[in-house]
Amino acid sequence: MANETEEQDLKDHKEPDHSRRNFLKNSGYAVGGLIVGGVVGSLLRSPNKSTTNNNNNGNTTEKAPANEAVNFNQALMHFTQEQFLIMEAATERIFPADDNGPGAKELGVAYFIDHQLAGEWGVNGREYMQGPFFKGETTQGYQGRLKRREIFDIGLQEMQNYSNKKFQKKFKDLTPEQQDTVLKAFETDEVKLTTISASGFFKTIFGSTMEGAYADPLYGGNGNMAGWKLKNFPGNQMSYTKIIEQDKFEKMQPVSLREHLPHS
Amino acid sequence: MATKLPKTDVVIVGVGWGGGIIASELTKGGLSVVGLERGKERKTEDYYMVHDELRYALRYEMFQDLSRETITFRGNEKIKALPMRSYGSFLLGDGLGGSGVHWNGQTFRFLPYDFEIKSKTIERYGKSKIPDGMTIQDWGITYDQLEPYFNKFEKMTGISGDENPLGGKRSEKYPTPPMKTTPGMKMFSDSCKGLNYHPYHMPSANLSEQYTNPDGIARAACQYCGYCERFGCEYGAKADPVVTVIPVAKNTGKFELRTHSNVRRILHKGGKATGVLYIDTTTGEEYEQPADIVVMTSYVFNNTRLLLMSNIGKPYDPKTGTGVIGRNYAYQVLKGAGVGFFEDKEFNIFAGAGSLGMCIDDFNGDNFDHKDLKFIHGANISYSQTGARPIQNNTVPPGTPTWGKDYKAATVKYANRHINVGAQGSCMPFRHHFLDLDPTYKDEFGDPLMRITFDFEDQDRELVKFMGAKCGDILKQMGADKVVANTELAPYEITTYQSTHNTGGVVMGSSPDTSAVNNYLQMWDTENLFVIGASAFAHNSGYNPTGTMGALSYRAAEGILKYHKNPGSLV
Ligand SMILES: Cc1cc2nc3c(=O)[nH]c(=O)nc-3n(C[C@H](O)[C@H](O)[C@H](O)COP(=O)(O)OP(=O)(O)OC[C@H]3O[C@@H](n4cnc5c(N)ncnc54)[C@H](O)[C@@H]3O)c2cc1C
Ligand code: SF4
């Protein structure tokens, strides 16, 4: 049963017994003291930037402040670092930080998408993928043979190619306005792709951005339930009987599914 | 070779609402019943983690696994039908309780007009009112004949409601009082009264108060948790087969439920069903389950598909309009709708229940004059507050950019500042709308998939135009600052969710030429085979189907008990 594995996962959340710096040293990412790639760099970031607070009671060799929050969920299961950075930048443009509150990056949306692609959704596990494959009418829906993971691999590469061609820079290094230009070109099929539909790919990343912003934080997005707070959505309360007839809008502290399991 | 099992009185194919009702009624009547369900067992304790929009609403946790079996679709016969590879238009039930576990519980009775639609339309407007190709027919039963069975279904489920002022006559009041009235519902109700319409509470299987049904099954009151449609109810408040009829059947000691049992053929010999052939999906082994009576309750699509694959009944031929299996497929016409935006008012719409709402029938059935209209029938118009969950609740005024800063700001602003009013449009059958076996695509066992040939017609476009305007009027009267009414209907497409109200394929009637089953849902030409579900609907009304489907199930159960004592045609 899915619940049991989730419970197991939660129990297994312990801080590894080597520090993040040691990890970097051992993993060979740091070449001559030079750190390559944004994700690796972010491992050295001040940890209070993390969005969710998981268990933090494991042994650490490094002396971390007692209440330091580390989000062990923020690592990659599917994306390469390059793909991740495109995803993080693109989702932030789709759902940017603003006066209302955090954007996709702070909410952890790109991690959410990574984790989703690593699982059943990424391989269209519960969808009909038998041939023969024909093009079909738009009323008949997606008829391709590619799985979501493959579509993301191709789509992100194409975004990078288009950015390089049009602006001579990687997507993540473009200005926000230039990034919007690239995304629009995909949304409107101005980018001509042969393997996948550019607008279809845009729709998928748009949809998964919304999912990552608003799904229960257990999936790695909606960090600190900040997505829910944006909309004054109270997460999952057990009952609304008391307020259902009430005229006044009710603001509540949201509750996530984590509360539905006993935690010692 | 299939292993032949000992014979039973009755075998049921699929244990959702239909299967559950049949199982409880027949076992109470003393028959031994085997229930074969292709999916897994379910219980209320499964739902501790159910308030998860991603897993249940967007990843379709409770629905049929499409990698194993799906349907194919085409808009008309000139197009190649292609598989529904992922979910969209409708969602298919799977596992104990079927769609009954993740439905909303909006439980209506079809109107008296529905059951005699053809005669009543001709009587009032003349023959020419029915356009060429529209194959409506009387159902072979009247509302009054079906009334006691509506009552039975409503008592078993404990429906909460007040009387529909424009509905058919009721022999008794609803068993429980209506659900609570939210500010939005009150506004809808006041607005409708101001327009001289007749609002009433949507009849609800969510339970307004604790209730014990005639079988002694007690259930808790709904908590308005807002995770109802597509989710199971962790309180057992929502009437579903698993918390109502199935335990009753089990308690008799006469019901044997076998899950993970996928039925592939109805076996028959000399005009009689002899049992079914099924596969244990955990081992791949095949079994033959012989039975005196076979009851099909495997939803519209598999009821039709299994008959066609088993060579029972005459397949429908759209060229000649003859044959019956696959005939009169219909759906629901939902695009007539409006949304009202409120600048200064926020509603607690995150809270709600599957059938919490107000509605009117002033424009449903033949409750209004169609003389100058280019359609027949109509729609139930409602405001329902089912729980606005954040991933899917992003309603914004037209003209808002489709993503980015302004989009985000608008979704945040209007998240709780809008009200949707919608029309649940009826859907008439047409000669060229039908179900048959797909020639190309197969399920996991190599059996052909069901193929749907269906599109919207002028009738539907006219209906949407009319209903969309009515929804807009109601919203204006409700005081919305901005009202956006949809009055356009694009071609039917399979990719966006509309409703799981598929109907027809094995329709009922009074003649074997135009119907597959009689008014006990007994097959005309295979007397010990009963085919139960909305597959029996000769058209679809402007309502959700399950109230009527449940009533027909109770009537069929009575018929089966009669048949068991005294075999032969029941009519
Ligand atoms: C999201 C959703 C919301 C809904 N809301 C409403 C509502 O508010 N009001 C309303 O009136 N209706 C609603 N409905 C429709 C309602 O759920 C159905 O009308 C009702 O459940 C139909 O009952 P049934 O027994 O005919 O089919 P189902 O409930 O679908 O049960 C059929 C069962 O047969 C099994 N089966 C199928 N094929 C085989 C096979 N070959 N072998 C073995 N088993 C098989 C399936 O696994 C399933 O368990 C909703 C449906 C959905 C999906
Ligand atoms: S809204 Fe009511 S009936 Fe529906 S799942 Fe929640 S508590 Fe159950």
Instruction: Read off the pLDDT of residues B244-266 as tens digits, 9 standing for 90 and up.
Output: 999 999 999 999 999 999 999 99
Which of the pair, A8 or B144, is modelled with greater confidence? B144
Distance, in angstroms, between A139 CA and closest chain B CA? 4
CB A139 within 8 A of CB B489: no
Provide DSSP, B66-104.
TTT--EEEESSTTSPPEE--S--S---B-STTGGGGSS-
Asked if the model's pLDDT at residue A1 lies above 70, the reply is no
Amino acid at A229: K
Q: Which of A9-23, A97-111, B297-311 has the lowest mean pLDDT?
A: A9-23
CB B10 within 8 A of CB B32: yes
Q: Is B13 in the pocket of ligand 1 (CB under 6 A)?
A: yes
Other residues' Cβ atoms within 10 Å of the Cβ of residue B39: 23
pLDDT reading at A7 higher than 50? no
Q: Is B543 in the pocket of ligand 1 (CB under 6 A)?
A: no
Mutate to test the interface with B, among A5, A93, A105, A126 (most CBs of B within 10 A): A126
| pLDDT score of A31 | 38
Q: Which residues pair with B273 in a beta bridge?
A: B268
Which residues in chain A are contacts of B491 at CB distance < 8 A?
139
Q: Is pLDDT above 70 for B135? A: yes
What pLDDT score was predicted for residue A66?
53
Q: Is the dihedral of CA B433, B541, B520, B29 positive or negative?
A: positive
> Residues of chain B with pLDDT > 70: what percent?
100
- Nearest in space to A77 (alpha carbons), one of A176, A9, A173: A9
Find out whether B147 and B185 touch, Cβ atoms under 8 Å: no
pLDDT of residue A264: 65
Residue A42 has pLDDT above 50, yes or no: no
Which residue of chain A is at minimal alpha-carbon distance from B51? A236
A147 three-state secondary structure: coil
Q: Percent of chain A, pLDDT > 70? A: 74
The Cα–Cα gap between B127 and B376 comes to 12
CB contact under 8 Å between B67 and A232, yes or no, is: no
**pLDDT tens track for B426-475:** 999 999 999 999 999 999 999 999 999 999 999 999 999 999 999 999 99
pLDDT mean over B353-370? 98
**CA B384 to CA B107: how far, in whole Å?**
13
Whole-angstrom distance, CA of residue B199 vs CA of residue B359: 5
CA–centroid distance, residue B471 to ligand 1 (Å): 29
Question: Is A141's CB within 8 Å of B84's CB?
Answer: yes
How distant, in Å, are the alpha carbons of A240, B239, B346, B549 from that of A231? Answer: 17, 31, 11, 39
Is pLDDT of A30 > 50?
A: no
Q: How far is Cα B487 from Cα B464, in angstroms, rounded to an integer?
A: 5
Which chain A residues in 31-90 lie under 8 Å from chain B, judged by CB atoms? none
Question: Please, which residues bridge with residue B255 across strands?
Answer: B33
Sign of CA dihedral B30, B32, B36, B41: positive
User: How close, in Å, is residue A40 to chain B by CA atoms?
Assistant: 28
pLDDT of residue A69: 75
Kindly give the residue spans of alpha helices, DSSP state H, lying in B29-170. 112-115, 117-125, 143-157
> Which residues partner with B82 through β-bridges?
B73
Cα of B497 vs centre of ligand 2, distance in Å, is 21
Confidence of residue A83 (pLDDT cuts 50, 70, 90): very high
pLDDT, residue A19, reads: 41
The amino acid sitting at B119 is: S
Q: How far does chain B reach from its first CA to its final CA, in angstroms?
A: 38
Chain A closest CA to B87's CA: distance in Å? 8
For helices A176-187 and A148-167, the axis angle rounded to 10 degrees is: 130
Cα–Cα nearest to B98, from B554, B546, B400, B539:
B546
Tell me: pLDDT of A201 over 80: yes
Q: Identify the CA nearest to B1 among candidates B268, B283, B277, B291.
A: B277
B501 is catalytic: yes
DSSP β-bridge partners for residue A98: A101
What rounded mean pLDDT belongs to chain B?
A: 98
Cα–Cα distance for residue pair B261/B14, rounded to 1 Å: 9
pTM of the model: 0.92
B503 CA from centroid of ligand 2 (Å): 26
Residue B484, strand partner residues: B339
Judge residue B240's burial from the number of C-beta atoms within 10 Å of its C-beta, 0-12 exposed, 13-18 middle, 19 or more buried.
buried
Per-residue confidence (pLDDT) for residue A60, from 0 to 100: 38
What's residue B1's pLDDT?
83
The DSSP letter of residue A61 is S
Calculate how far, in angstroms, residue B472's C-alpha sits from the geometric centre of ligand 1: 32
Q: Decide: residue B278, CB within 10 A, 0-12 exposed, 13-18 middle, 19+ buried.
A: buried
Strand partners, B11: B34, B294
pLDDT tier at A263 (50, 70, 90 boundaries)? confident
Provide the percentage of residues in chain B whose pLDDT is more than 90: 100
- Establish how many alpha carbons lie within 13 A of residue B437's alpha carbon, considering only the half-sphere containing its beta carbon: 15
Atom of ligand 2 nearest to the CA of B387: 1
* In the predicted structure, residue A38 carries a pLDDT above the cut 50: no
Q: By the CB < 8 Å criterion, does A121 face chain B? A: yes
Which residue's C-alpha comes closest to atom 27 of ligand 1?
Answer: B299
> Pick from B67, B402, B492: which is nearest to A128 by CB?
B67
3-state secondary structure B480-541: CCEEEEECCCCCCCCCCCCCCCCEEECCECCCCCCCCECCCCEECCCCCEEECCHHHCCCEC
Identify which of A121, A127, A260 has the shortest CB distance to residue B48.
Answer: A260
Is A123 within 8 Å of chain B by CB? no
Structure confidence at residue A85 (pLDDT) = 98
Q: What is the mean pLDDT of residues B221-245?
A: 97
Alpha helices in A109-192 (DSSP H): 109-118, 148-167, 176-187
Pairing relation of β-strands B71-74 and B448-453? Answer: parallel
- On the question of pLDDT at B195 being above 70, the answer is yes
The per-residue pLDDT for A261 is 87
All residues at 6 or more sequence positions from B416 whose CB lies less than 8 Å from its CB, including other chains? A231, A232, A249, B346, B347, B348, B349, B350, B388
Q: Which of B370, B501, B539, B564 is catalytic?
A: B501
Q: What is the pLDDT of residue B534?
A: 98
Instruction: Share the mean pLDDT of chain A.
Output: 82
Please name the member of B75, B348, B389 whose beta carbon is closest to the beta carbon of A137.
B75
Ligand 1 atom at minimal distance to the Cα of residue B543: 11
- The answer to whether the CB of B353 is under 6 A from ligand 1 is no
CA distances from A230 to A106, A250, A253, B231, B403 (A): 13, 14, 12, 24, 16
Q: How far is B442 from chain A (nearest CA, A)?
A: 8
CA distance A190 to A205: 17
Q: Which helix (H) or strand (E) holds B383?
A: strand B379-384
Band the pLDDT of A10: cuts 50, 70, 90.
very low
- What's the pLDDT tens digit per position in B487-530? 999 999 999 999 999 999 999 999 999 999 999 999 999 999 99
Split at pLDDT 50, 70, 90, the class of B533 is very high
Q: In the predicted model, is pLDDT for residue A240 greater than 50?
A: yes
Ligand 2 geometric centre to CA of B222 (Å): 5
**Which class for B499: exposed (0-12), middle (13-18), buried (19 or more C-beta within 10 A)?**
middle
Ligand 1 centroid to Cα of residue B498, in Å, is 15
Q: What is the pLDDT of residues A43-73, one digit of tens each?
A: 333 334 334 444 333 343 444 455 567 899 9
Range in A9-23, A73-87, B372-386 the model is least confident about: A9-23
The CB of B549 under 6 Å from ligand 1? The reply is yes
Residue B222 Cα: closest atom of ligand 2:
2
Give the model's pLDDT for residue B405: 98
- Contact, B244 vs B45, CB < 8 A? no
Contacts of residue B457, defined as CB under 8 A and 6 or more positions apart, other chains included, come to: B134, B428, B430
What pLDDT does A65 receive? 52
Residues in chain A: 264
Looking at residues B265-293, what average pLDDT do you find? 98
**Tokens describing residue B394:** 């992003």
Q: Which atom belonging to ligand 2 lies closest to the Cα atom of B50?
A: 5
Best of B235, B243, B355, B384 to mutate for ligand 2, by most ligand atoms within 8 A of CB? B235
Q: Tell which one of B159, B299, B308, B310 to mutate to probe ligand 1, the residue whose CB is within 8 A of the most ligand atoms.
A: B299
The torsion angle over the Cα atoms of residues B112, B115, B118 and B121, rounded to 10 degrees, is 10
- Cβ contacts below 8 Å, chain A against chain B, sum to 178
Length of chain B: 571
User: Is there a cis peptide before residue A132, judged by omega within 30 degrees of 0?
Assistant: yes
Confidence of residue A260 (pLDDT cuts 50, 70, 90): confident
A112 interface with B at CB cutoff 8 Å: no
d(CA B246, CA B27): 10
Q: Are B156 and B245 in contact (CB under 8 A)?
A: yes
Task: Return the residue of A nearest to B403 by Cα.
Answer: A94
